[in-house]
Amino acid sequence: MNSAPKKRAPRLAAGRARALGMPTRGTTNPNRLRRIDRWIAGTPWVARALRNAAEPVVIDLGYGATPVTTVELAARLRPLRPDARVVGLEIDPDRVLAGKLVADPPVLEFRRGGFELAGLAAGVRDFPGPALVRALNVLRQYTEPEAWKAWEELCSRLAPDGLLVEGTCDEIGRRCCWVTLDRGGPLTLTLACLPADIERPSDLAERLPKTLIHRNVPDEKVYSMLAELDACWAKAAPMAPFGPRARWAHAAQLFGELGWPVLDRRRRWRLGELTVAWSAVAP
């Protein structure tokens, strides 16, 4: 009996479009993006975008001077979707060359590209678009209007149920903030940290995404949110003897009890995370 024909894998071509965007600073460190990767794989509604994707293509946009964080992303997503195809994109040809030295096609590839997604955007050669785009520390050098435009462009190139995770973190990944978006726009804001590394939650303000960082002023929602979270952190001080993680979790609980749209629970709070609906901070 003849076996069924194998489904053709999507062609991961760089395409003819000019690479759009500016090179990043290139700073990379092993495990710098571990908190983001852990959240992607461990948050059911986010993981579902990759698990249910017809074409499980994940793009790591602007991975930097070395490909280490792209290699780590591929490894962390493999248990979730063994056939996931992770593609690292960079504008700098030397960075692409460094990536190709550790590539493992078809599960891990490196291409030259930017916001145009190097031929992997929705509708290019009938490709449905990527299931997930991770863009960390890419938009810091852009203006706020440029960052909003980049969001719009990237979201338009996602698969119908695809997601964009965009944000910033410090050099060793102890302080992170990111926004998750779908084709319709931003959905959530996540704060993540090593609780022992902060004096108060508002220390994370310096890592807010470009669309929010200049909005951290009185009369803006994100300012009010951080101020309220600081107050909850202060009220959670009696939990300090049980460790910073316990204090963060209690502060997050108090914060949610005040009516803020908190979308995660204690299991993630214990990891130093807090996710709120975008409506809580939208300018």
Q: Quick one: 176 and 213 in the same domain?
A: no
Q: Which of 144, 163, 183 is the C-terminal boundary of a domain?
A: 183
Structure tokens at 117: 């997604």
The reply to whether 5 falls in a domain is no
Which CATH number do you get for residue 70? 3.40.50.150
Q: Quick one: 124 and 218 in the same domain?
A: no
Q: CA end-to-end span of the chain, whole Å? A: 61
> DSSP state, 18?
P
Residue 54's domain spans which residues? Answer: 19-183
What is the average pLDDT value for the chain, to the nearest integer? 92
**pLDDT, tens only, 97-111:** 999 999 999 999 999
Q: Quick one: 165 and 60 in the same domain?
A: yes
E-state strands within 132-216: 132-136, 163-169, 175-182, 185-193
Q: Which band of pLDDT confidence, cut at 50, 70 and 90, is reported for residue 8?
A: very low
Q: Quick one: 101 and 148 in the same domain?
A: yes
pLDDT given for residue 24 in this prediction: 67
The reply to whether 3 falls in a domain is no
The structure's pTM equals 0.91
Q: Residue 11: is its pLDDT beyond 90?
A: no
The reply to whether 245 falls in a domain is yes
Residue 83: how many other CB atoms lie within 10 Å: 11
| 129: three-class secondary structure by DSSP | coil
Q: Quick one: 216 and 156 in the same domain?
A: no
For residue 109, report the phi and psi dihedrals to the nearest 5 degrees: -135, 160
Q: Residue 131: is its pLDDT beyond 80?
A: yes
pLDDT given for residue 29 in this prediction: 81
Segment 74-95 shows an average pLDDT of 96
| 115: three-class secondary structure by DSSP | coil
Segment 255-283 shows an average pLDDT of 98
Rounded to 10°, the helix 68-77/34-42 angle is: 20
**pLDDT, tens only, 13-70:** 444 456 766 666 667 889 999 999 999 999 999 999 999 999 999 999 999 999 999 9
The reply to whether 4 falls in a domain is no
Structure tokens at 98: 């460094």
